[in-house]
Amino acid sequence: MNLLFLIISAVIAYLIGSIPVAYIFGRVLKGLDIREHGSGNMGATNAFRVLGRGPGTIVLILDIIKGIIPVTFLANAFGLTDALSLVIIVVAAVAGHNWTVFLGFRGGKGMATSLGVLIGLAIQFQVLRIILLLVTATWLVLFLLFGYVSFASIIAAVVFPVLMVAFLEPLALIIMSIVLCIFIVFRHRSNIKRLIKGQENRVSFPFRKRS
């Protein structure tokens, strides 16, 4: 591990993660500050709500890519493929999304970018492909059953470190999964309060009657 390269990579990863995609799309497409609309969050879910399905989908994809790039191209470019280096790069990228330096350290909730870094790690570590599949399946099943993006995201985030332990992953990767879980749960504090009060926004599906 080259410490200088690691520091440079972590800073670049943070800056990549910090790119406020939803904010940029809101300004360019509708001339609005997405922080002042919907939930006020700068993630893909609020982009769907405020900007529409098309822009929201693009924001989601780009937020995922913000996680993939640091873990794959950046790490490989600097020869930082050991688990500890990847963990530091991962945390830096997600922290950038959650607390972007470009907008007063106010960002998204980290789910899409966390998915991106998990995809990037799955490219590096084959066993993580199973965990990626299980985490994604957990989110999808819960979302389709209950219609709450936040609830599905929180539970999937909690399942992530549990699976890492169950699959006997290296300690560094387990710690990383715990940190990302804490990030996601912490950033969903307001959603948790609304879920408890029964006030959380819910997506309605044609196959399920509204309650």
Q: What is the pLDDT of residue 124?
A: 84
Q: Which tokens sit at 41?
A: 């969050």
Q: What is the pLDDT of residues 64-89, one digit of tens each?
A: 999 999 999 998 899 998 889 999 99
Average pLDDT, the chain: 92
Choose among 165, 188, 192: nearest CA to 176: 165
How many angstroms separate the first and last alpha carbons of the chain? Answer: 55
The upper half-sphere exposure of residue 170, i.e. CA atoms within 13 Å in the direction of its Cβ, equals 13
Q: What is the pLDDT of residue 128?
A: 92
Query: Is the pLDDT score of 210 beyond 70?
Result: no
Q: Residue 127: which pLDDT band, with cuts at 50, 70 and 90?
A: confident
Q: 208 or 186: whose pLDDT is higher? A: 186
Mean pLDDT, residues 107-116: 93
Q: Residue 206: which pLDDT band, with cuts at 50, 70 and 90?
A: low
For the chain, how long is the longest CA-to-CA vector?
A: 57
Query: How far is residue 114 from each of residues 38, 64, 128, 150, measured CA to CA in Å?
Result: 22, 7, 14, 14
Mean pLDDT, residues 109-133: 93
Q: What is the pLDDT of residue 209?
A: 55
Instruction: Note the pTM of the prediction, 2 decimals.
Output: 0.90
Q: Where are the domains of the chain?
A: 3-197
Q: 113 or 41: whose pLDDT is higher? A: 113
